[in-house]
Structure 1
Amino acid sequence: MVAGRNPVAEALRSGQLIDKILLFKNASGESINEIRLLAKTYNVPVQFVPVEKLNSLTNIQHQGVVAFKSGVAYQDLQQVIDWVNERGEAPLFLMLDGVTDVRNIGAIARSAVCCGAQAIIIPEKGVGALNEEAVKSSAGALEKIQVCRTQGLLKAAETLHLNGIKLFTSEMKAVKKLHQLNMQEPCCIVMGNEEKGIQKGLADEADEHFTIPMKGDFDSFNVSVAAGIILYEAMKQRMYGITQ
């Protein structure tokens, strides 16, 4: 965490990886304007909060500004799609909707790298911070996979569709089973919050809805475990073909 107007501005100017900036909603002045401009230049989200929120985070004289460092560098989604296509690969992406536990995010990233996925897509808000703990949980995988942060997942879904990449979402009541999907084609797997699931608008944009077969009579898999199962099926199909 970086607190104070000059330290935050310097962190941005020097190219440090910043996850987000919390700004006192009534803060003003030349240095605040510079921070907002630098944040816009480097695509760093800015959230306007009450001063009590900032006071609860640090005892340092924050001057109305607190920034959180990021453990990864964020990439542009379209540029990543172009990069994957140039390599002659079929895109295999993950999209995280409301996954807030950094340990789950780390575990998902680890499975993604092991199974050959090229990118993880996250929103600016509503997802766990990709900080040192997340990188540690991923065993360094978050530093080996492209991470794309977008202003909204619906916009990201539109970009994926324009590039011929299908969206697959997991639903408990879906008719199609995981192994019945064609995951050799360019696709993005959407993983949602364990309690709320995937937001309706995003689910409506999905090309395929599927379920993971379970033998036991229980609620569902943990989100990171489910992601690992799905990614393994994608890797198996891409290495050995589709088997029913």
Structure 2
Amino acid sequence: MQNKTQIYGIRAVIEAINADEPIDKVFIQKGLKGDLSKELESLIRKSGINASYVPIEKLNRLTKNNHQGVVANISPITFYGLEELVEKVLKSEKIPLFLLLDQLSDVRNFGAIIRTAECTGVDGIIIQKKGAAPVTADTIKTSAGAAFKVPIAKVDHIKDAVFYLQASGITVVAATEKTDNTVYDLVFTEPCAIVMGSEDRGISPSTLKAADQLAKLPLLGEIESLNVSVACAVFLYEVVRQRRQF
């Protein structure tokens, strides 16, 4: 069975996956056995859906209903395909601006970033299917509704999205402290995409290596880093500043 944000029960989740429901994550009880559970696990692997094996207490907290060892979260938004999103943006008359989030995990950071992205004219946000923060009620609330306005695409791997954007004539800039260049040294008046990393690990090494340019924010105090949503806002508003002068 299901409500607006949740599906519970093994067969119901299987049917939802087969019906291409926008499922963000599936929680499966540890030690769950049986033919249906094997079918579900196989579908999850084939579909690339994010899944976690959790104790039954976790499932009991997620729903008071008869979950049969499985609870799935449904995204309140519809996700785009990467090619569909990029093609749509390239057909527009504005200079493209994309935002890639490399396994950002906190839903409130995600919501805050979506809100800033909408305010700065980002054309689309790209996230990874596995390991990324889901679009939950908290995400929607923190985004102040911007999650319904900014197109979001899901991909198997962020690095693949980087290569696709580069092939489409879009320069990819990675936000990282592993460079001498600051965000103020770069030019953002051409089509570009900015990559922000996860809260704890930053951008993955393979994605960092694939980026066209690297840039950091100058930090003048004793704290060595900014919250990712704050750092993202600084990067995006530097793009806005340069393009307003262009």
Settle same-fold status: TM greater than 0.5. Answer: yes
CA distance in 2, matches of 1:217, 1:46: 37
Runs of at least 5 residues in structure 2 that lack an aligned partner in the other structure:
1-5
Cα separation, 1, equivalents of 2:184 and 2:124: 22
CA contact (8 A) 1:18 1:44 kept: no
Which residue matches 1:88?
Answer: 93
How many residues get paired? 239
- Describe how 1:23-38 pairs up with structure 2 within 5 A: 23=28, 27-29=33-35, 33=39
Residue among 126, 131, 136 paired with 1:126: 131
User: What is the CA–CA distance in structure 1 between the aligned matches of 2:205 and 2:190, rounded to whole Å?
Assistant: 24
- Tell me the TM-score normalised to structure 2 length: 0.84
**Which residue of structure 2 aligns with residue 220 of structure 1?**
225
Structure 2 residue 13 is the aligned partner of structure 1 residue 8: yes
Deviates more, 1:176-185 or 1:1-10: 1-10
Query: Take 1:104 and 1:31, find their aligned partners in 2: how far apart are those partners?
Result: 33
Q: CA deviation at 1:98?
A: 2.7
1:232 aligned to which of 207, 219, 237 = 237
1:18 to 23, 32, 40: 23
Once structures 1 and 2 are overlaid, which stretch shifts more, 172-181 or 120-129?
172-181
* Counterparts of 2:36 and 2:221, CA distance in 1: 61
Match of 2:80 in 1: 75
How far did residue 127 of structure 1 move?
1.7
Q: Quick check: 1:156 aligned with 2:161?
A: yes
Task: State whether structure 2 residue 51 is matched by structure 1 residue 47.
Answer: yes
Paired with 1:31 and 1:175, the residues of 2 have a C-alpha distance of 51
CA distance in 1, matches of 2:202, 2:50: 26
Q: Compute the displacement of 1:61 (Å).
A: 2.8
Distance in structure 2 (CA, Å) of the matches to 1:163 and 1:22: 37
- Determine if the alignment matches structure 1 residue 210 to structure 2 residue 197: no
Encode CA deviations 1:8-51: one digit per residue, 9 max, x unaligned: 355457765321234567655479748966x789x561537367
Matched-pair contact (CA < 8 Å) for 1:20–1:44: no
Letter in 1 for 2:140: V
Aligned with 1:172 (options 167, 174, 177):
177
Quick one: structure 1 residues 195 and 160, their matched pair in 2 at CA, closer, same or farther if it must change by over 3 Å?
same
TM-score, with length taken from structure 1: 0.85
Deviation per CA, 1:113-146, whole angstroms, max 9, x where unpaired? 1111111111112221111110110001111011
Distance in 2 of aligned mates of 1:95 and 1:145:
13
1:72 shift after superposition:
1.8
TM-superposed CA distance for 1:60, in Å, is: 3.3
Q: Indicate how the Cα distance of structure 1 residues 83 and 58 shifts in structure 2: closer, same or farther if over 3 A, else same.
A: same
1:109 aligns with: 114
Provide the residue aligned with 1:184 in structure 2: 189
Letter in 2 for 1:133: D
Aligned residue type for 1:127: A
Consecutive unaligned residues in structure 1, runs of 5 or more: none
- Alpha-carbon deviations, 1:129-181, whole Å to 9, x = none? 11111011000111101101111112111211221222211222422221221
Distance 1:173 1:51, change over 3 A: closer
Query: Aligned partners of 1:107, 1:224: CA distance in 2, in Å?
Result: 6
Matching residue's letter, 1:179: Y
Greater alpha carbon shift after TM alignment, 46-55 vs 209-218: 46-55
SS in structure 2 of the partner of residue 145 of structure 1? coil
